[in-house]
Amino acid sequence: LREEFHLSHAGCLLSDPADPSRVLPQNNVHHQETHACPLQAETTSPAKTVSSRPPLKINRAPVLTLWAAVVAEKQGFHWDEAVTIGKYIAGVLAHSKGKSLGLYHDSPVTEEDREARRERDRNMGVEHVDAFGMSIPVRKKGRHHLAFSQGSTLAPASAKTYLSHAFKDHLEDVKDAMARLASAVPEAELGKACYPLYEHFRPAWKGWGQSAELDIDGICQLAHGGAWKEYAP
C-alpha cells in the first residue's frame, strides 16, 4: 500500500492532494490517560506473541481509523477531532487502494479544477494540520477543528458509532493497546513511525473488505522495551 502514496524525505510523510496551508496550533487540548494493556503476553518476543485469548476478527478500515485517531490524539488533538481525522485518513487510503485494484476510477482533474477546489476551501475556512504524517484538511466547528472532506466536516458522533459497531465489546481493549503503543514512540518520531507500525499489526489481507485476525496483545508487545523500533524507519 505504501507505494501508492507520495512519501516525503521525512520517511512516511503522506501528502494530501490539496496544497497545505498554515498549520493550526495544537494547544489547549485534552489528553486521555493511557491504560495498561488488558492482557500481557507470556513471551518477551514481539514477533512471537502468545495471547491468552483469540484475536479479534475485523477488516482493515476500522483498524486504521482507530489507530490514526489514537495517534492524532497523542499528537495533541481532542478526541472528537482525532476520530474525524482517523476516518478521513482511512477513507483517503482506502480510496487509493481501491484505485490500485481497479475498483475506483476517478475523473481527470485539471489544474483549474484543483485551484477552484482550493478557492472553495479557503472561502469555507478550511485549513490544514499535520497528523499521522499527513496534511489533513480541517474546518472549525464549535470548539473543535474537524476533518473536512467533499465539502463538509466529518461528524465525531458518526465516526465513534462506526468504531463501536466495528469493534463491539473489543473497542476499549484495542484502543488501550494502541494508546500504549503510541505512548511508547517518542513524539518526534511518531509521525513517520505510525504507518509502518500499522503495516506490521494490521489484519492480514484476505480480500477487499474481508475480515482477518487482529492480535490485540501483539500490539501491546510492540510497546515493550522499544520493540516498535524493529518495524519503524
- The pLDDT tens digits for 26-53 are 433 343 444 446 444 333 444 444 445 5
pLDDT of residue 102: 66
- The pLDDT tens digits for 207-229 are 878 899 999 999 999 999 999 99
Q: Do the Cβ atoms of 184 and 201 come closer than 8 Å?
A: no
Q: Is residue 40 part of a domain?
A: no
Confidence of residue 2 (pLDDT cuts 50, 70, 90): very low
**Comparing 77-81, 122-126, 133-137, 180-184, which segment has the lowest mean pLDDT?**
122-126
pLDDT of residue 209: 81
* C-alpha distances out from residue 124 to 24, 80, 95, 128, 204, Å: 16, 20, 24, 13, 40
Q: Is residue 71 part of a domain?
A: yes
- The pLDDT tens digits for 45-104 are 444 444 455 669 999 999 999 999 999 999 999 999 999 999 999 999 986 766 555 666
Q: Is residue 162 part of a domain?
A: yes
pLDDT of residue 206: 85
pTM of the model: 0.76
Region 1-24: what's the mean pLDDT?
38
Q: Is residue 42 part of a domain?
A: no
Total domains present in the chain? 1
- Owning domain of residue 176: 2-23+52-231
Q: Is residue 153 part of a domain?
A: yes
pLDDT of residue 117: 85
Higher pLDDT among residues 24 and 158, named by residue = 158
- Residue 1 scores a pLDDT above 80: no
* Residue 81: alpha-carbon gap to chain centroid: 12
pLDDT of residue 31: 39
- The pLDDT tens digits for 164-188 are 999 999 999 999 999 999 999 999 9
Q: Is residue 10 part of a domain?
A: yes
DSSP 212: E
Element (H, E) at 144: strand 144-149
Burial 57-96 (b: 16+ CB within 10 A, else e): ebbbbbbbbbbbbbbbbbbbbbbbbbbbbbbbbbbbbbee
- Residue 151 scores a pLDDT above 50: yes
pLDDT of residue 103: 66
Q: Is residue 191 part of a domain?
A: yes
pLDDT of residue 114: 84
